[in-house]
Amino acid sequence: MNRLRTLARVVAVGAAGTLPAAALPSQAAVTTASTTTVAASSNLHALDASKLRYIRRCWGYVRYPNAGCEVSAAVPKGWKMTRLSTYHARFDDRSRTWMVRINGGLGGKQSSSTAALSKQQSLRGVPGLRIVSRVTSTEVYAPGPNPSTTVKVTTLTYTYRSYRGTRWVATRYVELWGPRAYVEITVAGRQKDQAGLKTVLAKATRTIALAG
């Protein structure tokens, strides 16, 4: 029971790539799947950003042919896309060790710094949580052929404990138009992957585009 509660908490964090506890068929299945995943993940090399190739993916509200591209960004080629909601998608490598998740449906309701603080507060009670930093900065933004500019972002970095071991996570809130966050971008993996994941995060930040 404690194991299932821990898995449910990990799903709430949204960075470990696990299934909801209710969707798991049995405790035995959990143990088998967990053991296999942990073994594959722990033996995998650190994410090498120099070997990544990127492709622009898009998603959104599909109402008629050629629609459904209200949100787009460059993500690692070959990472599997899973649509979480209309404007929210995640991309996982084949081993489900590394992940980037992008939500373009925030709607500019608050500043990036306020959004990051709210996210940090929502993590209370997560097993092994350690807040590494919460930093507001400017990042390069060049989603199209026009000259690059900069956008204000706030990035929350933290680690937590899952059945796969310690997970490293960075969640970034991007202000595209004025002092309001319209996009949330999260990358996650192991602690030794953070250099590569920071590159994936920077690429997504630089290329994120919202239509409409």
Q: Three-state DSSP class for 42?
A: helix
pLDDT single digits (tens) 82-129:
999 999 999 999 999 999 999 999 999 999 999 999 999 999 999 999
Q: How confident is the model at residue 44 (pLDDT cuts 50, 70, 90)?
A: confident
Q: 51-60 long-range contacts, Cβ below 8 Å, gap at least 24?
A: 52/76, 52/77, 52/196, 52/199, 52/200, 53/77, 53/78, 54/203, 56/207, 57/81, 57/89, 57/91, 59/83, 59/86, 59/87, 59/89, 60/86, 60/87, 60/104, 60/211
Please answer whether residues 134 and 120 qualify as being in contact, where contact means their C-beta atoms are separated by less than 8 angstroms: yes
- pLDDT, position 37: 52
Which secondary structure element, helix H or strand E, spans residue 137, and what is its range?
A: strand 130-141
Number of folded domains in the chain?
Answer: 1
Q: For the residues 26-52, what does the mean pLDDT come to? A: 64
- Label residue 61 by pLDDT band (50, 70, 90): confident
Question: Residue 15 is part of a domain; what is its CATH number?
Answer: 3.40.1000.10
Q: What is the pLDDT of residues 14-30, one digit of tens each?
A: 444 433 333 333 333 34
Q: What is the pTM of this model?
A: 0.80
**Tell me, what's the pLDDT at 73?**
97
How far is residue 184 from each of residues 40, 127, 149, 188, measured CA to CA in Å? 29, 23, 19, 13
CA 101/CA 171 separation, integer angstroms: 9
Q: What is the pLDDT of residues 171-211, one digit of tens each?
A: 999 999 889 999 999 999 999 999 999 999 999 999 999 98
- Domain hosting 191: range is 2-45+53-210
